[in-house]
């Protein structure tokens, strides 16, 4: 990246009141930030939705998530990558969704639509009482939502907890809670479509995250995605002695 561009990023990051910025964080910021993202963050900052941008929560292939402070308290800032994203199958999750029939399939427009799609899915789920982060706002490829965690420390995923999970909760009850959340989604015609131990946080209860891929139940691949979600859950909990048949579980949640 040219020195001039790095200097511009540094100027904006200073304006955004970056907390605890170090060299590694700066590299991750540079990975997702271009001029349009800087302007988007600056607009959100001027509206006090973000008052201070903190450290990195998660650095993924498609997006980086940062901790931030806003007028409403702690928030999570998800910035979808435009230049380096690997959304090879993004169109499979957008095509067939009546909410997004006029999408122009340029890379930037796809990313913007993906951010909007995750916001809409979270909004629909949250209003129905599904355990998901509360969405706050989206703008271009930036999504602001409730931070799940305390004092900048994010709640762990089930994958992070691993073998310590039985020490924290009744695993059988946790399995049933997650199945209940899947049912709640189906009641509002949604399928998560990427559910696994990587996308479930433990915050004294399971919280479902990463809903950009979530599709309406009338999506042509909805049942395939639902079966995959359940298969992932059954696989994960089988390590803790919980036996469940995917086909039976599918009939149960669809009842």
Active site residue 203: no
- Summarize pLDDT for 184-233 with one digit per residue, the tens: 999 999 999 999 999 999 999 999 999 999 999 999 899 999 999 999 99
pLDDT of 103 strictly over 80:
no
What is the per-residue pLDDT for 9?
Answer: 56
Any idea which of 30-44, 67-81, 141-155, 209-223 has the lowest mean pLDDT?
30-44
* Domain 3-150: CATH class, spelled out: alpha beta
Active site residue 194: yes
Active-site option among 170, 194, 203, 229: 194
- Summarize pLDDT for 104-154 with one digit per residue, the tens: 667 888 888 899 999 999 999 999 999 999 999 999 999 999 999 999 999
pLDDT of 71 strictly over 90:
no
What is the per-residue pLDDT for 62?
Answer: 85
The mean pLDDT of the chain is 86
Q: How confident is the model at residue 14 (pLDDT cuts 50, 70, 90)?
A: low
Q: Give the residue with greater pLDDT, 38 vs 174.
A: 174
pTM of the model: 0.87
Active-site option among 210, 218, 229, 245: 210
Q: Of the segments 6-20, 78-92, 97-111, 117-131, which one has the largest average pLDDT value?
A: 117-131
pLDDT of 32 strictly over 80:
no
- 255 CB-contact burial (10 Å; exposed 0-12 / middle 13-18 / buried 19+): exposed
CATH superfamily entry for domain 155-254: Transferase(Phosphotransferase) domain 1 (1.10.510.10)
pLDDT of 3 strictly over 80:
no
Q: How confident is the model at residue 1 (pLDDT cuts 50, 70, 90)?
A: very low
Percent of the chain with pLDDT over 90: 60
Q: Domain ranges for the chain, please list them.
A: 3-150, 155-254
């Amino acid at each position: 990246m040219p020195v001039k561009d790095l200097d511009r990023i540094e100027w904006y990051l200073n304006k955004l009141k970056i907390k605890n910025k170090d060299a590694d964080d700066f590299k991750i910021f540079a990975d997702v930030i271009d001029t349009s993202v800087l302007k988007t963050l600056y607009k959100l900052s001027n509206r006090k939705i973000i008052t201070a941008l903190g450290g990195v929560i998660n650095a993924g292939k498609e997006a980086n998530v940062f901790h931030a402070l806003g007028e409403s308290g702690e928030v999570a800032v998800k910035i979808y990558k435009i230049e380096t994203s690997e959304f090879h199958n993004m169109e499979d999750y957008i095509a067939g969704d009546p909410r997004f029939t006029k999408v122009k399939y340029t890379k930037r427009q796809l990313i913007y639509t993906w951010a909007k799609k995750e916001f809409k899915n979270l909004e629909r789920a949250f209003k129905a009482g599904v355990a998901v982060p509360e969405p706050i706002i989206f703008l271009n490829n930036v999504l602001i939502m409730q931070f799940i965690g305390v004092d900048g420390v994010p709640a762990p995923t089930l994958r992070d907890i691993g073998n310590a999970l039985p020490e924290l909760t009744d695993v059988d009850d946790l399995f049933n809670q997650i199945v209940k959340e899947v049912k709640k989604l189906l009641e509002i015609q949604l399928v998560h479509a990427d559910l696994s131990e990587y996308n479930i946080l433990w915050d004294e209860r399971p919280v479902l995250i990463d809903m950009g891929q979530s599709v309406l139940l009338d999506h042509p691949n909805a049942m395939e995605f639902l079966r995959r979600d359940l298969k992932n859950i059954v696989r994960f909990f089988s390590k803790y002695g919980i036996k469940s048949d995917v086909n039976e579980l599918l009939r149960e949640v669809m009842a």
